[in-house]
Amino acid sequence: MNQEYFRDLFPIVATHIHLAACSQGALAKPVSDAIDRYKNSLLESGTNWGETIKKVAETREKFAQLIGAEADEVALLCSVSDAISAIATCLPSEKNKNKIVFTDIDFPTVSHIWLRQEVFKNDISVIGSIDGEIPLELYEKAVTHETLLTSVPHVNYYNGFKQDIGAIAEIVHRKGSLLMVDAYQAAGQIPIKVKEMGIDILVAGTRKYLLGIPGVAFLYVKKDLAQKLKPRATGWLGQVSPFEINNPVFHDGTRRFETGTPAFISVYAACEALKMILDGGVGNIEEYLIKLTKLAIEYGQEKGLNLAGPEDVEKRASLISFFSENISKAEELLRSKNIIVSPRKDVIRIAPHYYNTGDEIIKAVDELVIAQNI
């Protein structure tokens, strides 16, 4: 699907410049229609369990296709935090193989979850970034033969720094550690191939570059690993026989991580949004977004804005952060001009998607410069 056709699917572009895909992607008409379909099926037929369970299966398959996995290596959950927590309940820790490594550029929920695990909380090491980036040498140092799991974000949610997942996988596997990737800021804008990249576990939600709404997240666990894990965060939908009370038997593969009734309305949205991303082609989307990212950085710097994170587009994603002295005021001023951006700490994040244009980037940067100077 070409860019112009894709853009036409988003009603908001007629009135707003939406540059906040790192927070909440814009709502497409087909996704909005899918939400209506769920609601209408309840209004019109009263109950829709069979249809919705099929939709869950279709959505799992689409996400699996997106990341180059098998459908039974994917579980559908409600949030990324749920997915990481479920993993934390069942990692097979042993004496001398019990350390958890994560980074200070992980989304805070990663730290919260590991620090809440009694078995791991005293065996954690956090890799400190340098200017919001993590050179590979820091992984060489921090990950040891005692590391059970290394958790990394694909893209830094604060400044758009993109990590070389394949290279990190090589290091952590050499030390015998599992690799878990939080791909929430990458999925939908960067091609992900879990097998080729050497990812053991991956988590991602749907409301950012995957263009869904809150309520759906995915957990990928490679098959032979999933088969060994026994999540203690569980429920009837994780078992082969949901109505059998005694001796529950886990589903094969990663579906064992599913728990209770999913947020069906969000599943309808996710399924349609994934279809759009697959039709657009993540390779095409990435190629287009590299151009917009380059434009945002070059034009922003030319206008005197101060970039956070790497200048080199090879090392970053479509999430461009400019330092701002008063982020709330800047966001408000931009919003008054119908420009939606996302403030975080001391930066304004501009996060274009395939529905944006170069003219929108120029306009947003111009207005940000004005906001900075008021």
Ligand X SMILES: Cc1ncc(COP(=O)(O)O)c(C=O)c1O
Q: Tokens 């999540």 appear where?
A: 231
Per CB under 6 A, which region of 75-83, 283-291, 318-326, 335-343 contacts ligand X? 75-83
Least distance from ligand X to the Cβ atom of residue 254, Å? 17
Per CB under 6 A, which region of 182-190, 248-256, 291-299, 337-345 contacts ligand X? 182-190
Cβ within 8 Å of residue 263, ≥6 positions away:
78, 215, 216
Cβ proximity to ligand X: between 147 and 266 the closer is 266
- Told to check if 114 binds ligand X by CB under 6 A, we report no
Amino acid at 81: S
Q: Give per-residue burial for 195-210: e unless 16+ CB within 10 Å, then b.
A: eebbbbbbbbbbbbbb
Task: Supply the DSSP symbol for 76.
Answer: E
Cα–Cα distance, 257 to 186 (Å, whole number) = 22
Least distance from ligand X to the Cβ atom of residue 288, Å? 22
Task: Supply the DSSP symbol for 139.
Answer: H
Q: Tokens 């996995």 appear where?
A: 69
Least distance from ligand X to the Cβ atom of residue 265, Å? 16
Q: Contact with ligand X (CB under 6 A): which of 25, 153, 309, 352? A: 153
- Told to check if 157 binds ligand X by CB under 6 A, we report yes
DSSP string, 257-291: G--S---HHHHHHHHHHHHHHHHH-HHHHHHHHHH
**181 φ, ψ (degrees, to nearest 5):** -115, 125
The tokens of 65 are what? 């296709």
Cβ proximity to ligand X: between 184 and 354 the closer is 184
Least distance from ligand X to the Cβ atom of residue 126, Å? 16
Least distance from ligand X to the Cβ atom of residue 197, Å? 17
Cα–Cα distance, 316 to 196 (Å, whole number) = 20
- Told to check if 24 binds ligand X by CB under 6 A, we report no
Cβ proximity to ligand X: between 289 and 371 the closer is 289
Q: Could you tell me how many residues of this chain bind ligand X (CB under 6 A)?
A: 12
Cβ proximity to ligand X: between 330 and 351 the closer is 351
Query: What radius of gyration do the chain's Cα atoms show?
Result: 21
Least distance from ligand X to the Cβ atom of residue 85, Å? 9
Q: Contact with ligand X (CB under 6 A): which of 48, 98, 109, 111? A: 109
Q: Contact with ligand X (CB under 6 A): which of 52, 129, 185, 324? A: 185
Cα–Cα distance, 104 to 128 (Å, whole number) = 5
Q: Contact with ligand X (CB under 6 A): which of 107, 250, 299, 323? A: 107
Cβ proximity to ligand X: between 109 and 259 the closer is 109
Q: Contact with ligand X (CB under 6 A): which of 9, 80, 171, 320? A: 80
- Please report, as residue ranges, which positions from 203 to 242 form the binding site for ligand X (by CB under 6 A): 205, 217
Cβ proximity to ligand X: between 50 and 108 the closer is 108
Least distance from ligand X to the Cβ atom of residue 358, Å? 26
Judged by DSSP in three states, 17 sits in strand
Cβ within 8 Å of residue 176, ≥6 positions away:
97, 145, 147
Q: Contact with ligand X (CB under 6 A): which of 65, 81, 284, 357? A: 81
Cα–Cα distance, 126 to 75 (Å, whole number) = 27
The tokens of 101 are what? 């490594």
Least distance from ligand X to the Cβ atom of residue 22, Å? 7
Per CB under 6 A, which region of 37-45, 78-86, 125-133, 256-264 contacts ligand X? 78-86
Cα–Cα distance, 348 to 336 (Å, whole number) = 15
189: closest CA among 174, 209, 203?
A: 209
- Told to check if 273 binds ligand X by CB under 6 A, we report no
Cα–Cα distance, 269 to 28 (Å, whole number) = 10
Least distance from ligand X to the Cβ atom of residue 107, Å? 3
Q: Which residues bind ligand X (CB under 6 A)?
A: 79-81, 107, 109, 153, 157, 182, 184-185, 205, 217
